[in-house]
Amino acid sequence: MKTLKLLLFLLLVSLSSLSQIKPYAEFEGGLTNWNHSMYTYNAGNHTVKSSPVSYYSSILIGLSYHNFHLENTIDTYFDKSQESKYTFKPLESNYMFNLHYDFKRLQLGVKHECTHPILSNMNETTNYYRATYNKIYFKIKIGN
């Protein structure tokens, strides 16, 4: 019985400290005029494939604890150059991981972002690219 009381006490303490962590999320979707072009070089000759991406979706999931923020964002871009107006071909996804600390108008953070292609048909001969970067940043906010 004493062990059970101790476990309940520890559970209450941990729940009260966890209640200070605030989850948040955002969903965004819409139109974009972002143009995705592929360049292929072969013995001095090159070809360009261009596909305008007209739709995108973005999901942000985050946690905040006092002034610390941990965020993960996934952006997906869709190629709308298909024959049917009711289909969407996902073209690529961008992933962003961000950890930052806010102090009044100052922000210090670490960010990782990477881009990954989506191959909807593995038999399709498509050129694609991957990109990644890491940032350590310091931001000053001016104005409201």
Over the stretch 20-73, which tens digit does the pLDDT of each residue have?
888 899 999 988 876 655 555 555 555 555 556 578 899 999 999 889 999 999
68 inside domain = yes
| pLDDT the model gives residue 113 | 93
Query: From start to end of the chain, where are the E strands?
Result: 21-31, 35-42, 45-65, 68-79, 89-103, 106-117, 131-140
129 inside domain = yes
132 inside domain = yes
Domain count, the chain: 1
13 inside domain = no
Query: In which domain, by residue range, is 113 found?
Result: 22-140
3 inside domain = no
Alpha helices, H only, 1-142: 2-18
14 inside domain = no
Two tokens at 90? 């996902």
Q: What is the pLDDT of residues 66-115, one digit of tens each?
A: 899 999 999 988 776 665 666 677 778 899 999 999 998 999 999 999 98
| pLDDT the model gives residue 79 | 73
Two tokens at 26? 């955002």
Tell me how far CA of residue 19 lies from CA of 48, 97, 117, in angstroms.
53, 23, 38
1 inside domain = no
**Using CA of residue 129, residue 31, residue 64, residue 142, what is the dihedral sign?**
positive
62 inside domain = yes
**pTM assigned to the model:** 0.68
